Chain A
Amino acid sequence: MTLESAAPDTGAAGLEARPSARIVPGVDANSYELTDTSMYQRYWDEMPCYLSIHDRDFRIIEGNRRFREDFGERIGQYCYKVYKGRDSICDNCPVEATFADGKNHPSEQLLTTGSGKQVPVMVHTTPIRDAAGEVVAVMEMHTEIDEVKKLQDELRHSRERFAQLFEEVPCFITVQGPDRIIQHANRRYREVFGSAVGFECFRVYKHRDEQCLSCPMTDTFETGRINDYEASVLSKDGEELNLLITIAPLRNPEGVVDAVIEMGVDITQIRELQDQLTSIGLLVGSISHGIKGLLTGLDGGIYMVNSGFQRDKPERVKKGWEMVQRNVDRVRSMVLDILYYAKDRELIVEPINLGSMIGDLRDGVKKKAHENSVDLEFHVPDQVGVFDGDPQAIRAMLINLLENSLDACRMDGDKQRHRVDVRVKRSEPWMVIEVADNGIGMDRETREKIFSLFFSSKGLKGTGLGLFISNKIVDKHGGTIEVESEPGKGTTFIVRIPLVARPSTTVDGELAGGAPGIGN
C-alpha cells in the first residue's frame, strides 16, 4: 500500500485511533508530547508487521492497519483470544513479563489470523510508561519470520559475497590482532603458507620463534596509519617469496585499532628479474677486474716471448709462452664460471675419479685449513670408483663447500680447535659427498636461505654466490644437496650425485657430444 492511498484513510482514522488518547483511563494524553500525531499515526499504520497495544488485563486496546487487515476489528478483546484463539492467558506471556520488569521479551510464536491461517512470528515487547515512569501498557510487535528470514538471507548472502571476495582475491590477506596472531587468512594465503590461523605471523612468514625486531604492524596499531613495505618471507615449503605488503587498521565500534588487515602481493618474479640485472652488474664489475689481471699476465707473457727472441734467450721465450698459455687457460675457466651465473651452461660430462680429484685439491685446501687452525680430514675409500659428472663444475662445487666450512669455523670464536671432515661414499645409485664442520652453525632462517642468490651470512666477506652456484651445479647433475645445521654445533652438507648421468645431460647437450667418455 502506498502512502498516497493511505493518507485520507489515516486522516479519518487518526483522531479515533490515536493511541495516547485511549490507552489507559487516567493517563494524560499530553504527556506523550506528540507534535504531529497524524504523522506518527501514519508510520504506526504503515509498519510492515502486526503492532498491538495491550493493557494490564491483556486486552488489545490498539492495533495497526496490518493487524486489522489480518485479525479484523478486535479492539477490546483479549490478546490470547485474538492471536491464538485461546480462552486463557498463554504460558510465558511476554506481555505479562514486560509489565513485571519493563523489559523487552523477545520470543517466537505461532499466530492464527482471522481467516485461520497460521503465521510464524518474532515477538518483541516494549513498555509504555506514564509521566511517573509506571508501565501502563505494553506494545507488542510481531514480525513475520518469513520477513526476518528474507532479511537474514540477504545479510547472509552479502556476508557470503564479502567472504568470497576475501577468499578469492589473488593476493595474501590476513587479519591479525595486537598479539600478532592470525585470526583470518584467505585461501591463497592458506595455500602458500599453510593453515596459519592461530599462529603468529613471524612463525608463519619467517619461521622464527620471536617477533621481528622492526615490525611495521606496531606503527599501525599505535598510530592507525597504513604501512607499506617489502618483505622477504618463507612459504610453508621453505620457498623464498618477495611480498609487497600493505597493513591497514581495523577499528572496533569505539574507534580503537584492535586488529589490522595485511595484504601481500607476490613480487618474487619482479625481484628475481631485478636480481638478475643486479647480478649482471656485479658480474661486469668482477669480470672486468679479473680480465685486467689476466691481461696483465698475457701482456707479461708476450713481453717475455718478444724480448726473449730479441735477446736470444730461449729460456725466457719458453717461460713467456707458458705464461701466455696459463693465462689463456684462466680466461677459459673464468668464462665458464661466468656462464654459470649468466646462463645455464651445458655440462661436459665425463667419468670422474673422485679420489684423484680430491687428491688434487687436498694440498691447497689443507694449507688454507691449517692457516685457519682447522683440522681438515678426507675420508675417501680406495674403491670409491668413478661417476658421471662435469669435472670443472664438481671441482668448483667441492671448493665452494670446503671454503664455506672453513669460513664457518673461522667465524666461530667459541671453540679452541675446529675440524672439517670430508666423507665420500658410493651408495647406489648415488655418489655421496659429505662436508661436515663444527663451526658456527646456522639457525632455520639462514639454513633455508643459504642457496639463494646474494644471500650471505658473512657480511662483507661473502658475495652470496658460492652456495647458489653449488646448488645449481648439483641440480644440473640431477643430484640433491641437503644441509643439516644447528647454531653453535656446526653444519653438514650432504651432496648426492647420480653415479650415471641422466640421458638429457649427455645426449641433448651440444658440448657434451664432443666430450670423452660419453655413451658408455
Chain B
Amino acid sequence: MEIKRVLIVDDDPDIVDYLGLFLEDEGYEVSSANRSSSALSALDDFEPDAVIVDVVLPGKSGLDLLVHIRQHERWSEIPIVVLTGNDAIVQDKGKNYLAGFHLERGADLVLAKPVDRDALVAVLARLTNPHGLGACTE
C-alpha cells in the first residue's frame, strides 16, 4: 500500500512536532507549513493526500486558507481537517464562517483541541482512502 502524505499547517512548532511524529508513527509521511501563505506552495511541492489546518495563524487565518484551497483549481477536492480551540467553530463545523463564501464543501472534519488522536487517524484513513474500508458513504 502506498504511503499517504499529510500537510500540517500550524504556527506552533510544538504542535507540528507532536502531530508530525504521531502521524509518522501511524505510517504517514508528513510535511508542515507555519502560515497560510507558505501552505499553498507546500501543496504544490509536497502534493499531500490530506491537509490539517489550525484556525489561528499569523496573517490569513486557517479558515481563509480553507476557502482559498476550496477555490483552487488543482486542490479544491483535497480532504481538509480543521483544528481549533474555539467551541463555536467546532459546534457549527465552521459553517457560519464559511456560509458567506457559498462553499458546497468546507472542512471534511472540524476537530477540537486537544486533539483526539484516535478520531484523527480514523478520519484520515477514511479520507485518504475513499475506496477502501470505512469509506465515506455520506
Contacts and interface: CB of A to CB of B under 8 A. Distances in A.
A468 interface: no
B127 to A, nearest CB: 21
Contact of A300 (B18, B25, B86): B18
B15 interface: yes
Interface centre among B18, B19, B25, B112 (most CB of A within 10 A): B18
Interface string B47-66: 00000000000000000000
Contacts of B121: none
B136 interface: no
A304 B17 CA distance: 9
Interface string A270-291: 0000000000000000001111
A296 B21 CA distance: 14
A178 B14 CA distance: 65
Interface string B1-43: 0000000000010110111011001000000000000000000
Contact of B114 (A296, A307, A316, A326): A296
Contact of B18 (A289, A293, A323): A323
Interface in B86-128: 86-87, 112-115, 117
B15 A296 contact: yes
A297 B25 contact: no
Given A299-B115, A301-B14, A293 B21 contact: no
B130 interface: no
B85 interface: yes
Q: Interface residues of B toward A: which range?
A: 10 to 19
Where chain A touches its partner, the secondary structure class is helix
A80 interface: no
A251 interface: no
Contact of A293 (B22, B25, B87, B113): B113
B18 A301 contact: yes
Contacts of A319: 17
Contacts of B87: 288
A327 B14 contact: yes
A300 B112 contact: no
A295 interface: yes
Interface string A289-328: 1111101111111011001000000001001000100110
A297 B15 contact: yes
Interface in A309-360: 316, 319, 323, 326-327
Given A293-B12, A307-B25, A300 B85 contact: no
Given A297-B14, A299-B114, A326-B14, 13 more contacts: A288-B87, A291-B85, A292-B114, A293-B85, A297-B18, A298-B114, A300-B14, A300-B17, A303-B18, A303-B21, A307-B21, A307-B22, A319-B17
Interface of B: 12, 14-15, 17-19, 21-22, 25, 85-87, 112-115, 117
